[in-house]
Structure 1
């Protein structure tokens, strides 16, 4: 039995030695031609998201009326078209929420959404759209809808106040300039009214307070603007737009102030400075 175990041990060692020697030898050369490896079937690419196509809306019901119009050119710029569509969609959703709140009742006057988008600038560098309208859901008067969109085709992005004027100093410069212009306009309106001195003083005090509150050096106060282009396609000024209640009463309507490019120049973000008149 001992000799059998010894023979088995010697055989095992011999086989192990042969295997180790085989492992240490260089691998044999690959065949000259071999079948290509089998790969998993390629997955079909995910479909691109559908682009927004803006079409005018005219819709009526005994309880509400909707009218929305777009400039056809806006569809040339998918990012801009989506922003316009999103804004109109949110305005319509607000109207329909109010309509749903009526239940089966019919309002004395139909609720209404009226919104018009207008192309105010279109160059290879700058495209701007103005949105003006209102939403009526009862009460003495409707809610003004005022918005501005400035699209930069080569950047494929919307120009915002934060991007255009990134520093607090820039916002302060705009705030100071706009306040001065609005104060002057208020004073001229007061001078044109036939009122007693005390009434004029109250008008000036109330108007000044609203202007100062609505033009503090914060980006949110200057979020609505449109470029004023010159003949060479440069931005000569930025027209900041203030809806009713921001810097005046509802009766004062939407107010605007043009801030020249020279005032903005020192504070413009370098990425956008070339868009402006120097």
Structure 2
């Protein structure tokens, strides 16, 4: 083969090899540059709080009628709303099961039991939200039984607080107990003049200790602040059932030195909803 022809063939072969190599490199670069297809997004977990909870519950069987009601104010507190609803419904279902067991053993359900749970709002401040809970049960007898409890909620921490959280640890509560006892007796005399006075540690009628008495925040004259605390005292505690329960509001000035500094600024002014009696200071 002439020398010129061989040179042309070699040149063509080299050109073809270079072209193939360049094409391969381009394919690799294109593949690397192409964005990876996004992975399918995992479905967001739906929590009880995010899903919300009902505002009421009721159930009726031949053995029991039960009902729960919640206030509109709780709608904006989903982290409290959901567990509070779940716990109350659980209590009502257990009551219904107990009623069925009792009445079945007795031979029938002609007189079904009844239970209601009602939550009502107390005052709300920048940090705190409060609710009272009233449980009314009837399982036979002359009248239903009524029990009180309460919820104090720290909105920022999203947790329930107890008496020991609101007040300074190790505080001497003697002055608070006396103020509560005096106010309870004033309310008792206003309702039943001449009735026997309740005393701390009394044998007949005994004043409750503040630490063991449910309470809610009392609305105050200063916007966004609680004017005091309203203690919830059940029937039979300081007088006969016929006297009924008491709501005793104490002004924040009575117990302000005892407050935990973390919550002291949530109180100011005077109560605007006094319950039965608001003592003067």
Name the TM-score class by shorter chain. 0.5 to 0.7
Question: CA distance change for structure 1 residues 189 and 117 in 2, over 3 Å: closer, same or farther?
Answer: closer
Q: Which residue of 2 aligns with 1:99?
A: 100
Kindly provide the CA deviation profile for residues 171-225 of structure 1, in whole angstroms up to 9, marking residues without a partner as x: 222101011112223334443xxxxxxxx5xx416x44378634236x22x2333
Residue 117 (1) aligns with residue 119 (2): yes
Local SS of the residue matching 2:249: strand
Residue 249 (1) aligns with residue 247 (2): no
Structure 1 Cα separation of the partners of residues 93 and 257 of structure 2: 40
Question: CA distance change for structure 1 residues 239 and 88 in 2, over 3 Å: closer, same or farther?
Answer: farther
Structure 2 Cα separation of the partners of residues 172 and 267 of structure 1: 11
Q: Which residue of 1 aligns with 2:14?
A: none
Give the alignment partner of residue 161 of structure 1, picking from 138, 160, 163: 163
Runs of 4+ in 1 over 4 A off after TM superposition: 44-49
Contact 2:124–2:217 (CA<8 Å) still a contact in 1? no
Superposition deviation, residue 268 in structure 1: 0.3
Structure 2 Cα separation of the partners of residues 180 and 254 of structure 1: 16
Alignment of 1:1-278 (within 5 A): 50-51=48-49, 53-81=53-81, 82-103=83-104, 105-191=107-193, 203-204=195-196, 207-208=198-199, 209=202, 213-216=206-209, 219-220=211-212, 222-277=213-268
Aligned residues: 222
Kindly provide the CA deviation profile for residues 113-163 of structure 1, in whole angstroms up to 9, marking residues without a partner as x: 122222333454332222224111122222213222222212322232111
Structure 2 Cα separation of the partners of residues 245 and 225 of structure 1: 20
Structure 1 Cα separation of the partners of residues 190 and 123 of structure 2: 31
Contact 1:214–1:247 (CA<8 Å) still a contact in 2? yes
Contact 1:120–1:129 (CA<8 Å) still a contact in 2? yes
Structure 2 Cα separation of the partners of residues 210 and 240 of structure 1: 21
Question: CA distance change for structure 1 residues 45 and 165 in 2, over 3 Å: closer, same or farther?
Answer: farther
Contact 2:64–2:99 (CA<8 Å) still a contact in 1? no
Supply the RMSD in Å over aligned alpha carbons. 2.9
Local SS of the residue matching 2:143: coil
Kindly provide the CA deviation profile for residues 225-245 of structure 1, in whole angstroms up to 9, marking residues without a partner as x: 333233411111111111222
Local SS of the residue matching 1:138: coil
TM-score, normalised via structure 1 length? 0.68
Structure 2 unmatched ranges of 5 or more: 1-41, 270-281
